[in-house]
Structure 1
Amino acid sequence: MTQIEPLYDKKYHCEMCEQSFTTKKVRSRFVKVIRFDTDFAPIYADGFENPNLYYVNVCPNCGYSFTDDFNTYFPPNGKQLIQDKICNQWAQHNYGDKRTIQEAMNTFKLAAYSSTLKKEKHIVSAGLYIRLAWLYRSTDVHEQEMRFLKLALKEYTDSYRTGDYKGTQVSELRLMYLIGDLSRRIGQTQDAVRFYSKVIEKQRQSVEPQIIQLAKDRWQEMREAKVVSGS
């Protein structure tokens, strides 16, 4: 009987160089989440795979990096920018096999650069930065975690301001909660309280009661911490 491996090959077409390539993805049966952090970072059971390591697809031929959330459309001059800034500097490297955490971090940075150059939606860039922050959290590199949480917060805030999250899997309620939670994590207490309150105000018309409860829990924790500190 053939043993089923956790990783399988998925074929992609590079919109930059028009080449096809394969990259690893994780079979869902080998993913087991035991809990989620307050910013929705999944905590995986020991011995199971972390699919975030394989979230980004990197073309080994030209270096253009993207996720399934990227738009295939390139704005005027977008391809030329990526050609100049990424492809022309690319020393061929294949990220299509099993990845270490460090290699996965590299792929997120490549994708974030690609996203910036082609002016992807803020919500897409935010998703890259927060996942990269989660990887740094899993390796206890606090300074880098904070760096990328701040970048994620900026992109989420811009997404909320421009409305470019509409039509994606991220609801307005989830987005407001995330802005609140990332604000709390980086010490922007007033913004955190403001956005948690925005979430709680939506409780009567919300179809996501679990997010309402998360906001209430965080708001209460902050209130108790303020009482304890005497501020």
Structure 2
Amino acid sequence: MELEELQPAFDRKVECIYCKNKFTTKKLRAQFVKVTEYDTDFRPQYESDHANPLFYNIFVCPECGFSFSEDFTKTFAPGTKKQIEEKIASKWTKHDYSGERTIIDALNTYKLAGYCATLKKEKHITTAGIYMRLAWLYRQKKDDEQEIRFLKLARKEYLESYSTEDFKGTQVTEIRLLYLTGELSVRIGDMATATKYFSMVIEKQKQAVETKLVEMARERWQEIRDRQTAK
């Protein structure tokens, strides 16, 4: 009897945080995921398009359509469940995202999650992460217009997160948030904001643990200055 070949994706059980329905979704085995390099906004580039864990970050409940990631909080603000019922669950045509996903499937799941995050009044830092990953997927598709659209939305949410401080207690540090705001500003062509936020990162270098981020911010700041003086 031959041993069955290990597949990159396996089934994991998830419970919908909205309707409590239990369903399965795919997750990739770590040994199949190989990052070749990172872009300056931390987008990981993978050795294989077929082993891209970004495709599976979002859980889509096949029963109610509520879509979420592990970063979503379990609690719902007053009135938000009613909004989700009216705008998502009552209109949902059962669709199963439990199999292996294409990039189009992945884009659809993130868009659903972005809508759900907005209705749920999820933390800005979480919503920003969804939009950022949408931008990354569009970059993979070489769709510049859509990439810019979602980078702008991500930056808006990062700015909100910084002003409300809802990033505190998450994996995103203040320095990382400031750096990302600067980096996304460069990518959408807003050099004034980029310079401001990179400068804020550099100013924090004495208390920074993430020295690599300070170095990256300094390099990006210098690139902007060089570009401006060359004009």
TM-score (norm 2): 0.97
How many Å apart are 1:47 and its aligned residue? 6.1
Task: Write out per-residue CA displacement over residues 170-196 of structure 1, whole angstroms, 9 at most, x where no aligned residue.
Answer: 000000000000011111111000000
Task: Write out per-residue CA displacement over residues 105-139 of structure 1, whole angstroms, 9 at most, x where no aligned residue.
Answer: 00001000100001000000000000000000000
How many Å apart are 1:84 and its aligned residue? 0.5
State the match for 1:120 in structure 2: 122
Task: Write out per-residue CA displacement over residues 193-222 of structure 1, whole angstroms, 9 at most, x where no aligned residue.
Answer: 000000011111111011011101111111
State the match for 2:16 in structure 1: 14
Q: Secondary structure at the match of 1:95?
A: coil
State the match for 2:216 in structure 1: 214
- Amino acid aligned to 2:114: A
Q: Secondary structure at the match of 1:169?
A: coil
Alignment map for 1:102-117 (pairs within 5 Å): 102-117=104-119
State the match for 2:229 in structure 1: 227
State the match for 1:78 in structure 2: 80
State the match for 1:136 in structure 2: 138
How many Å apart are 1:11 and its aligned residue? 0.5
Q: Secondary structure at the match of 1:151?
A: helix
Task: Write out per-residue CA displacement over residues 41-93 of structure 1, whole angstroms, 9 at most, x where no aligned residue.
Answer: 11111366110000100000110000000001011111111011001111110
Contact 1:32-1:48 at 8 Å conserved across structures: no
Name whichever of 15-24 and 57-66 sits farther off: 15-24
Name whichever of 46-55 and 150-159 sits farther off: 46-55
How many Å apart are 1:168 and its aligned residue? 0.2
Aligned-pair Cα RMSD in Å: 0.9
For 2:123 and 2:143, locate their aligned partners in 1 and report how far apart those are by CA, in whole Å. Answer: 28
How many Å apart are 1:224 and its aligned residue? 1.4
C-alpha spacing 1:98/1:81, structure 2 compared with 1 (3 Å): same
For 2:227 and 2:12, locate their aligned partners in 1 and report how far apart those are by CA, in whole Å. Answer: 47
Name whichever of 11-20 and 210-219 sits farther off: 11-20
For 1:39 and 1:134, locate their aligned partners in 2 and report how far apart those are by CA, in whole Å. Answer: 9
Q: Secondary structure at the match of 2:51?
A: coil
Unaligned runs of 5+ in 2: none
For 1:116 and 1:80, locate their aligned partners in 2 and report how far apart those are by CA, in whole Å. Answer: 13
State the match for 2:159 in structure 1: 157
TM-score (norm 1): 0.97
Among the aligned pairs, what percent are the same residue?
52
